[in-house]
Amino acid sequence: MKNLKQVTIKLIFTSILMLSCFNVFATNEDLEMKKFIDNLMSKMTLQEKLGQLNLPSSGDIITGEAKSSDIATKIKQGKVGGLFNIKGVDKIREVQRVAVEESRLHIPLLFGMDVIHGYETTFPIPLGLAATWNMPAIELSARIAAIEASANGICWTFSPMVDIARDPRWGRMAEGSGEDPFLGGQIAKAMVYGYQGRGADRYKLNSNIMACVKHYALYGAAEAGRDYNTTDMSRYRMFNEYLYPYQAAVDAGVGSVMASFNEVDGIPATANKYLMTDVLRTKWGFNGFVVTDFTGILEMVDHGIGDFQTVSIKALKAGIDIDMVSEGLPSLGKALKEGKVTISEVNQACRRILEAKYKLGLFKDPYKYCSLGRSAKETFTAEHRTTARKIAAESFVLLKNQNSLLPLAKKGKIAIIGPLGNTRENMPGTWSVAANFDKAVSLFDGLKAAVGNKADISYAKGSNLVADSLYEVNATMFGRELNKTKQRRSDKEMLDEALQLASQSDVIVAALGESSEMSGESSSRSDIGIPDVQENLLRELMKTGKPIVLVLFTGRAMTLPWEKANVPAILNVWFGGTEAGDAIADVVFGDVNPSGKLPVTFPQNVGQIPLFYNHKNTGRPLPEGGWFKKFRSNYLDVSNDPLFPFGFGLSYTTFSYSDVKLSDSKMAANGSLTASVTVANTGKADGAEVVQLYLRDLVGSTTRPVKELKGFEKIFLKAGESKTVSFKITPELLKFYNYDLRYVAEPGDFIVMVGGDSENVKSATFTLQ
């Protein structure tokens, strides 16, 4: 952890120093930018202005064909504002040359890409990054992603995704930071800083790229966990539970925002003026541009709010500035002539796109991100891979470790069994569009490299991913196949082979769970347990009596009641990125002590969903730890408790917490107080612990959650060491949106809770006067 912090400081120290200077320069730069763009727009035709609002799909252009393609013709005519998901600096440079040398006004293009959790060096999926609870590490992951992407021609990433997700059936939980708005907000800021830089440093370096916070708004609250589905909630819930991470990204200076697919208040977000203008720009002060998601405008026809021209008009009037793929905004010339949109609305959107290009420095140097020498030197470097490996190891969450089965000794015969045990392609995780899968490290490769000749590592697949062959095809798209259709062995043959290997081994590492594409976009699941044939394999392996470590691959919270009850050790490794196999080996063999904490609640079964820690109390609450009680809020067939609570995660050592000490029992309306605990490492191994602060407002003008995360600190303690951790509590931490959506802190009593997860806490009380 210390080495990781040193690397972090090395990469971002300069930008932090320059933060205090930002306001001095902002005014002059803004004036210069306005003067430049005013002059440019005075020369632009309507077609060229509408062209800046166009982000078409070009596919991955083949080098040498850019100047002769259909998209090149549009670029020459000034009908394109940017392109996305082209990989290769040589290709991007060639397209940019067409824009700045062959179009009338030489306006450069934006080049975007889904750089979600790394470029070629991929880090854990965002849900895994969230499990580190380490903001410097998360910022560093984004910084490295920006360095690599910018070295390959990309100046704009469609990240971070900050959608709060409380329904693990929704596949895109993998791309976000989990269920909590406070944690999500801190991560949003860290990611934006990592991509863009801070303060005066923002966009100045050729390794700073523009971030795009998404999906605004409420995309993670899709009904039934089914992707793209309707979202419907009160504005009270919206502001208190879902919007903060987007606002945090805006406060961090994010350059762009992506509209979500779903409807909000009965209006698709892409046409929702309340979201895009009233909240985003007027209330929060956002001054960047808004992009649709892929075909977001066209899809509003199916939403049923108008024909193509009508929905295009609605999008522009709502505050959309650039149209991804639909090409609805660029076709609004007819609507302008008919008086259905105004030239000022077109000019406003055009200006915002030109401002983004100006801020990125593309008018001064259109080839700022197209240096042909950087790619080889700054992509997938040894330093980047080492950092990715450390961060991956920090993301893993130890869910169970009966009789200290882990860490394993590097000796004897170790069997890796399961369909995910030897697949490089699945290690980077979903949305790793720039990764080279053949360079990723599989679990088998990682464990074998770690033991050298000290132990014997063998592998058997044991089962397919799922029994249904079509399901497996759908769950292993984009090159993540597990070769189900190519192998001719029956389920029995694979199981027999695995059991034979197990009988000859000292310990079994069961590599089970999801493939990387079982989570992510359009990968909702109604059953979120370990799939059928894998579950059967695990049960058969348990019958052998051999020690079993379940290495769980997942992009969501899963239902694992049988596994928790029966398997002695469970290590949740998410999808750890290109260095996943080596990072897993580091933790499995004890070279790294696991310190990950869950950013989502794991339910006992899908019937409990949505299940989250910061729920309301109801008028008939079930006493804590109780079940079943008639006429109380509970189930007949399962307790209210989660399988694993938010913030949970074990270590190879143990930690104790003292009682909470408050600096005062009362806080003035403009005052503050300090809550302190002493945390001790009471085990035999050095380790890291995430100390978590929760607050509860006991009486409010509206009902309040039973607890809310309001602070955390990750500390490292040597065996036997202790440290006092203090949290400053201010009225700002006590504020919420009341019934009238005013942001207020109300006088009254509060409970302070501090602990290692959301359930196991020490408490104290104070009064806000």
Q: Encode 205-225: b = buried (16+ Cβ within 10 Å), e = exposed.
A: bbbbbbbbbbbbbbbbbbeeb
Q: What is the DSSP string of 371-439?
A: -TTHHHHHSS-HHHHHHHHHHHHHH-EEEEEGGG-PSPPS-EEEEEESTTTT-GGGSS-SSBTT--GGG
Are the C-beta atoms of residues 513 and 528 closer than 8 Å to each other?
A: no
The whole-angstrom separation of Cα 424 and Cα 439 is 8
Cα pseudo-dihedral 409, 410, 413, 415, rounded to 10? 80
User: Cα 211 to the chain's mean position, in Å?
Assistant: 13
Are the C-beta atoms of residues 315 and 332 closer than 8 Å to each other?
A: no
Task: Note if 293 is an active site residue.
Answer: yes
Label the pairing between strands 673-681 and 655-657.
antiparallel
Considering only CA atoms, which of 578, 555, 560 is closest in space to residue 570?
560
Which of the residues 163, 293, 321, 445 is marked catalytic? 293
Question: Which residue in the block uniquely carries the two structure tokens 């075909």?
Answer: 295
Q: What does R_g of the chain's alpha carbons equal in angstroms? A: 26
The whole-angstrom separation of Cα 457 and Cα 353 is 55
DSSP class of residue 322 equals B
DSSP class of residue 21 equals G
Residue type, 702: T
Q: Encode 558-586: b = buried (16+ Cβ within 10 Å), e = exposed.
A: bbbeebbeebbbbbbbbbbbbbbbbbbbb
Q: What is the DSSP string of 197-243?
A: -SGGGTTTSTT--B-EEEEETTGGG-GGG-TT------HHHIIIIIS
Neighbours of 423 (CB within 10 A): 26
Considering only CA atoms, which of 662, 659, 671, 658 is closest in space to residue 734?
671
Q: Reduce the DSSP state of residue 348 to 3 states and report it.
A: helix
Are the C-beta atoms of residues 769 and 747 closer than 8 Å to each other?
A: yes
Considering only CA atoms, which of 179, 214, 229 is closest in space to residue 431?
214
DSSP class of residue 275 equals I
First-last CA distance in the chain: 41
The whole-angstrom separation of Cα 717 and Cα 10 is 23
The whole-angstrom separation of Cα 579 and Cα 253 is 31
The whole-angstrom separation of Cα 217 and Cα 226 is 16
Could you write out the three-class secondary structure of 276-304?
HHHHHHHHCCCCCEEECCCCCCCHHHHHC
The whole-angstrom separation of Cα 172 and Cα 220 is 8
Neighbours of 284 (CB within 10 A): 16
The whole-angstrom separation of Cα 75 and Cα 109 is 9
Secondary structure element (H or E) that encloses residue 751, with its range: strand 748-755
Neighbours of 608 (CB within 10 A): 18
Joined together, the tokens standing for residue 271 give 């046409």
List the catalytic residues.
293
